[in-house]
Amino acid sequence: MVNYYNSVYNPPKELPSLLNPLKPMIDEWLTEDLKAPRKQRHTAKRVYARLQKEYPELLGVKLRTVQYYVSKKRKEISDQQHKAYLPLYHPPGEAQVDFGHVAYYDNAGIMQDALKLTMSFPYSNASHCQIFHGENQECLLQGIKNIIEHIGQAPYRMVFDNLSTAVAHMGKGHDRIMTDTFSRFITHYGIDVFFCNGAAGWEKGNEKYMIM
């Protein structure tokens, strides 16, 4: 006999998706795509391939699940872009650090894909870049160190997306538990850090505006 009361008033709880641990990384990639040329943006297949390469131990879903989530997240990001804008204040000495994809021709005339670490200063619109073939913690810290040594001083504050190379655990709001190596690195330079909300890269854009 069917228990009508339970079937109506106590529906089964939705099970957590196996994709949940990887959603912050996917959100970050899709948000970064807003600043990349259209041909360099992530397709769902490219997202899946990148997850297979960078997070094979966490990837427990098929391509179709990733395709569904990418489609849904792109719509959310698009909806956010159409909201009102308010000006942001960027004080002198505040830097924004970001990885992005870049394409270039090597000495043989072959187009290559690489990753560009950019440290930008919205107050002055200055920026400095380092090119790498990876996005791991060593590349992040070496790139920041190279730029600091080049400009002769460390920013007093850095604003980041939720880079997995810097963040070990995402808490509520802007609360983050940083990786031990990254925490020691920024302590050495006396840098205050701020992490944007998940899929909210517009909180730090050089456009000096934020979406509300």
The predicted-structure confidence for 111-131, as pLDDT tens digits, reads as follows 888 999 999 998 888 999 999
In terms of residue numbers, what domain contains 49? 20-81
What stretches of the chain show up as alpha helix (H) in DSSP?
Answer: 4-9, 23-32, 44-54, 63-81, 137-151, 180-189
**pLDDT tens per residue across span 155-192:** 999 988 767 788 777 656 556 788 889 999 999 999 99
Domain stop point among 50, 65, 81: 81
Residue 13, domain member (yes or no): no
| Residues 118, 176 within the same domain | yes
The pair phi, psi for residue 97, each rounded to 5°, is -115, 135
CA distance 159 to 178: 13
Rounded to two decimals, what is the model's pTM? 0.53
Q: What is the CATH number of the domain that holds 131?
A: 3.30.420.10
Residue 147, domain member (yes or no): yes
pLDDT of residue 22: 92
pLDDT of residue 104: 83
Residue 136, domain member (yes or no): yes
| Residues 180, 105 within the same domain | yes
Beta bridge partners of 95: 158
| Residues 171, 130 within the same domain | yes
